[in-house]
Amino acid sequence: MVFMATMKDVAREAGVALGSVSRVINHAPGVKQKTIDKVNAAIKKLNYVPDEYARGLKVKSSKTVALILPSIWNLFFAEFAYYVEKYLAEKNYKLLLCNYSNNPKAEQHYIKMAKQNKIDAIICITYDDLDKYFYAGIPLVSIDRYFEQKISYVTSENYEGGRLAAEELLKHGVKHPAFIGTYNHNPSDVMKRHKGFAEYLSEQGYEFADVYLLEPVTKEKEETELFKLLDKNPEIDGIFCNTDSLLLDVKNWLAQREISVPEQIQLIGYDGIKPDFNSELGISTIRQPLPEMAKCAVEMVIEKVEQHRDEQRIERFPVSYIEGNTTKNI
């Protein structure tokens, strides 16, 4: 049986009161240096590890932030989680990763944890109707989604990204553009990708076809609707997919029909995801500055926790076009 030292063991070893050990561990002011030295020496000798969770209950802080995601299988969400954990660690905070798998009840459970002070704050990517579960007492930062209540959120310039995708398709020689993507009943900046795409093409005198489906939607439904669109509009030679993950699906579906990319249909996605953190995915896409967005979300939520600031902040980050192998060389 492995011996796990307790705070009482540390106090006994150091020859000080239990309260003195607690004050040293929590960096309380006014503790004599001699006491600090004794306690630290005892901690080292006994290999004592403080119970961070128990400390958090006493000081109303667990130094833990929950990141609520729809799915960790999505490359965009996985990469975002990586950077959130990285920047939280730099601030001496821990990450609780909450993968709710499109289950609103699971989201509600994590929000309840925050109300019980088991976690300090929430960073979330959610598309569900959770307004009634949020209140001013939960430090929260949303990604893309905005709410009726004035909750802070971080997003990219989605409207400009949609315009940029349309501009690049036309630059690459596309004459008959199309759009494929999904939208949600709840308001989200992501929907502005479709609006920006549509308005740029209208300004340039182009019409476009689209598959714009209300979530939730299956991949099978997206594939079926895409081919209905192509059967009705065989002249389509360029498609803007509103996420990179969708672009990869579309590329595979086209290959099954022996439609070559980019020779017959050019594709541009949105996100700028990577298969790993050292190489590009290889597709043409509108890149969001994911590390900067994650860092901003972390700074915003910690500011809310430590400075008790509850005013709304909105941060939008510029996007850029990345040339890849799903568009023709120009």
Q: What percent of the chain has pLDDT over 90?
A: 54
pTM value? 0.79
**Average pLDDT, integer, range 138-147:** 84
Report how far residue 106's alpha carbon sits from residue 308's, in angstroms, rounded to the nearest whole number. Answer: 27
Which amino acid is present at 8?
K
pLDDT in tens, 37-59: 999 998 888 888 765 545 554 45
pLDDT for position 135:
52
Instruction: Determine if the peptide bond prior to 216 is cis (ω within 30°).
Output: yes
Q: Answer with the residue of higher pLDDT: 275 or 246.
A: 246
pLDDT for position 53:
47
pLDDT for position 146:
77
pLDDT in tens, 182-231: 998 888 899 999 999 999 999 999 999 999 999 888 999 999 999 999 99
Report how far residue 251's alpha carbon sits from residue 240's, in angstroms, rounded to the nearest whole number. Answer: 12
CB neighbours of residue 268 within 10 Å? 30
Which H or E run includes 41? helix 33-46
Q: Is the pLDDT of residue 285 over 70?
A: yes
CB neighbours of residue 299 within 10 Å? 16
pLDDT for position 268:
98
Domains identified in the chain and CATH numbers? 7-50 (1.10.260.40), 64-156+290-317 (3.40.50.2300), 158-288 (3.40.50.2300)
Which amino acid is present at 222?
E
pLDDT in tens, 297-329: 999 999 988 887 777 889 999 999 999 999 998
Band (117; pLDDT cuts 50, 70, 90)? low
